[in-house]
Structure formats: C-alpha cells, structure tokens
C-alpha cells in the first residue's frame, strides 16, 4: 500500500494520496464500496487542486483586505443587500460589465470591492487589485524601465481589475494616458471595479482633458452597476471614545 501512495505522489496526486493514506490508516476503507472509494479519492484530489489554485489566485490578486461577502455589514442600510448578493454571483464578469462603488471615506468601499474580488477568485477568475496611486506609480516606473507594454498586457489578461480609491487626486498627463490605454484594452473584453469617494459627476475634473475624459468615462460608466454606500465612517465608529480606551487599545496592540 505504501508503494501505491508513493506512486500517487509521484504522479502529483497529492490530495488523493493523502486521502487514501488517511483512510487506510484509520481502516475506514472497509465501509467503502469500490465506487464510493473512487469517488472519495477523486473528490479529495479535486478539493486539493481547487484550494491550491485558489491560494495562487488570491496571492496574485494582492488584495488590500482578506474579505468575504459574508462579512459585509448591511446594517443601517449602508448598502443595498440584494444588489450586492446579485453581484456576488459574478455574472457581471461573464457579461463583461463594470461596477462603480461610491461613498464617503471609511464606509467600506474597499472591503466590498475586495469581497467581490475574492468571490471572483473562488469561481476561477483572474483578479488584480490596485490602489489608485500605486497603479499609476507602477505604470510610470514601467515607462522608464521599458516594461510598460508588459504591464499593460498583464492587466489586460485579468478577468477582473479593481482600481481602489480612484480620484483622490487629479490625474497628470502620464496617468491619464495610462488609464485610457488600460480601459481601452479591457473595454468589452473584461470587467473593472472602481471605488471612489468622489461622485461620478466630478470624474471629468479628476481625469482632465475633456476629450480623453469623455472617452474613458463612456467606456467605464456606460451600463456599469452603480453601488452607492451610505452612512457613517466605520473607521470613526471603531475609534476609542476616551483616554482610558485609548490606553487600553495601545496595550492590546
């Protein structure tokens, strides 16, 4: 039996080998029929490969938060629960649609975007998360070291791109050009989630250059799912209320 287990490992059937070895040692195999044993081993291998692939996908996505849809707070009608649950099935990715999440600072926009991104990873989609400033900073560096086209190609390959905190500062010419190329490459081919504390009506001012802004927004905003988050900042709610609580928090941290 050890030889069989070793052969499974040699063939990289790690999940199957582990399940078979555990079952053999616990003597539970006596309760399995042949069909049940084969089903059990195949499912064990499937689960192992799925979990490994998911771990790789999540690592490549570089999410800001380890988030899940189940953790999203729907209290105080902060966000439309039905809308979020509909988006969580990731049908918008199949349809190559975009999502725009707006709301005040600290309200949970980044967490929601990350949760939808995790959901997409679990369904086998390639996802890449970028904070707005890091994305354009990276593209500027890529321009200077000759890797710009490679970076564009990498972004284009993603089924879902998340641009977090868009609009915190106006775009300069280089950033505006990079955004135009990114959006143009992805338009009609894949999905993008953009979070922003700036209302969409003010995005023209953020992007600048009226003609380019029109072209970018036409591709992003048209038919996008709009999620508006409301309520008080979660960060403020979590802040200590008095000096005693501050001291206690410092001791805990």
Residues in contact with 148: Cβ distance below 8 Å, sequence separation at least 6, in sequence order: 139, 142
**Would you say residue 151 has pLDDT above 80?**
yes
Q: CA–CA separation, 98 vs 103, rounded Å? A: 17
Under the phi-then-psi rule, with left for phi > 0, alpha for psi from -120 to 50, and beta for the rest, what region is 94? alpha
Is the model's pLDDT at 76 over the cut of 90? no
Any idea how long the chain is?
253
Q: Which domains does the chain have, with CATH numbers?
A: 2-60 (no CATH), 69-236 (3.40.50.300)
Q: What is the pLDDT of residue 235?
A: 58
Helix (H, G, I), strand (E, B) or coil at 233: coil
CB 127 within 8 A of CB 120: yes
Encode 209-241: b = buried (16+ Cβ within 10 Å), e = exposed: eeebbebbbebbeeebeebebebeeeeeeeeee
CB 184 within 8 A of CB 219: yes
Angle among Cα 70, 76, 80 to the nearest 5 degrees reads 60
Tokens of 216: 């970018």
**pLDDT for position 251:** 39
Q: Lowest mean pLDDT: which of 26-35, 161-170, 241-250?
A: 241-250
Task: Kindly indicate the confidence band of residue 73, based on its pLDDT and cuts at 50, 70 and 90.
Answer: confident
CB atoms within 10 A of CB 137: 13
Of 84, 88, 165, nearest in space to 121 by CA: 88
For the sheet with 127-131, list strands across it: 127-131, 160-164, 191-196, 99-102, 225-228
Cβ-based burial of 62 (10 A; exposed 0-12, middle 13-18, buried ≥19): middle
Residues with Cβ within 8 Å of 118's Cβ and at least 6 positions away in sequence, in order, are 58, 63, 66, 67, 68, 69
Q: How confident is the model at residue 136 (pLDDT cuts 50, 70, 90)?
A: very high
pLDDT tops 60 at residue 246: no
The single-letter DSSP state of residue 241 is: S
Is residue 131 predicted with pLDDT exceeding 50? yes
Task: Specify the range with the lowest mean pLDDT, choosing from 27-36, 64-73, 86-95, 232-241.
Answer: 232-241
Q: State yes or no: pLDDT of 248 exceeds 60.
A: no
For the stretch 171-186, pLDDT in tens is: 999 999 999 999 999 9
Integer CA distances (angstroms), 159 to 142, 154, 190, in order = 22, 11, 5
Task: Compute φ and ψ for 127, nearest 5 degrees.
Answer: -130, 145
Is the per-residue pLDDT at 45 higher than 90? no
Digit-coded pLDDT (tens) for 98-128: 999 999 988 899 999 999 999 999 999 999 9
């Amino acid at each position: 039996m050890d030889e069989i287990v070793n052969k499974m490992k040699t063939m990289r059937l790690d999940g199957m080998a582990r399940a078979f070895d555990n079952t053999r040692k616990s003597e539970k195999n006596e309760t399995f029929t042949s069909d049940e044993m084969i089903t059990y081993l195949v499912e064990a291998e499937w689960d192992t490969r799925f979990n490994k692939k998911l771990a790789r996908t999540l690592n490549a996505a570089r999410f800001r938060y380890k988030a899940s849809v189940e953790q999203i707070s729907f209290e105080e009608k902060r966000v439309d629960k039905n809308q979020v649950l509909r988006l969580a099935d990731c049908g918008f990715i199949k349809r190559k649609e975009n999502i725009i999440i707006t709301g005040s600072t600290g309200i949970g926009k980044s967490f929601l975007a990350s949760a939808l991104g995790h959901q997409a990873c679990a369904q086998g989609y390639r996802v890449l998360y970028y904070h707005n400033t890091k994305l354009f900073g990276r593209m500027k560096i890529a321009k200077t070291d000759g890797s710009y086209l490679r970076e564009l190609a990498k972004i284009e390959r993603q089924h879902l791109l998340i641009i977090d905190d868009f609009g915190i500062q106006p775009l300069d010419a280089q950033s505006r050009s990079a955004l135009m190329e990114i959006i143009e490459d992805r338009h009609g081919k894949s999905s993008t989630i953009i979070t922003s504390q700036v209302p969409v009506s003010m995005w023209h001012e953020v992007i600048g250059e009226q003609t380019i802004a029109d072209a970018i927004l036409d591709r992003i905003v048209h038919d996008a799912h709009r999620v508006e988050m409301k309520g008080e900042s979660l960060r403020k709610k979590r802040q200590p209320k008095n000096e005693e609580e501050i001291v206690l928090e410092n001791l805990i941290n």
